[in-house]
């Protein structure tokens, strides 16, 4: 399959015959796929894996298996041609992953799954240390490399 529209059409034509690999029950890829299934009106088979590499390496047309994953974990496979990127999980395109449409453009309106990370410190951490950590984090996030 070369697009989200093709994936949805195939899943509708063959309910319960396409597999999706995740990093386990309740993981973000599992929940992202459950949302995808609900919005697209399809039913696919969940196959949980423990290891990211194992999960990604088993996605292929032959296994009729696909996955949601973070860009850093799959882009090396996309760039070498081992995997095909279909879309990013946000509604619109992402500047972090050139060439892939957002889900709305790809054919699934109202789908939007984004990840955010928090940076936490113990409650008793001195304010000057928290401020230094904040400044260093802000500086690191602005570095394009």
CATH fold for domain 4-106: D-Maltodextrin-Binding Protein; domain 2 (3.40.190)
Q: Which pLDDT score is estimated for 59?
A: 53
The pLDDT tens digits of the residues spanning 68-79 come to 888 877 888 888
As a whole number of angstroms, the distance between CA 79 and CA 130 comes to 38
Summarize the confidence of residues 99-119 as an average pLDDT.
92
The pLDDT tens digits of the residues spanning 24-37 come to 889 888 999 999 99
Sketch the domain layout of the chain as residue ranges.
4-106
Q: Which residue has the higher pLDDT, 67 or 110?
A: 110
Q: Which pLDDT score is estimated for 106?
A: 97
């Amino acid at each position: 399959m070369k697009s989200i529209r093709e994936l949805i059409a195939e899943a509708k034509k063959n309910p319960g015959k396409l597999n999706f690999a995740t990093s386990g029950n309740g993981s973000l890829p599992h929940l992202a796929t459950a949302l995808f299934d609900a919005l697209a009106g399809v039913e696919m088979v969940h196959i949980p894996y423990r290891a990211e590499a194992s999960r990604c390496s088993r996605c292929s047309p032959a296994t009729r298996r696909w996955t949601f994953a973070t860009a850093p974990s799959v882009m090396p496979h996309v760039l070498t041609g081992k995997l095909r990127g279909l879309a990013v999980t946000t509604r619109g395109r992402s500047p972090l992953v050139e060439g892939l449409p957002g889900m709305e453009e790809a054919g699934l309106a109202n789908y939007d799954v984004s990840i955010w990370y928090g940076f936490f410190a113990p409650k008793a951490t001195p304010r000057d240390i928290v401020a230094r950590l904040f400044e260093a984090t802000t500086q690191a996030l602005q570095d394009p490399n």
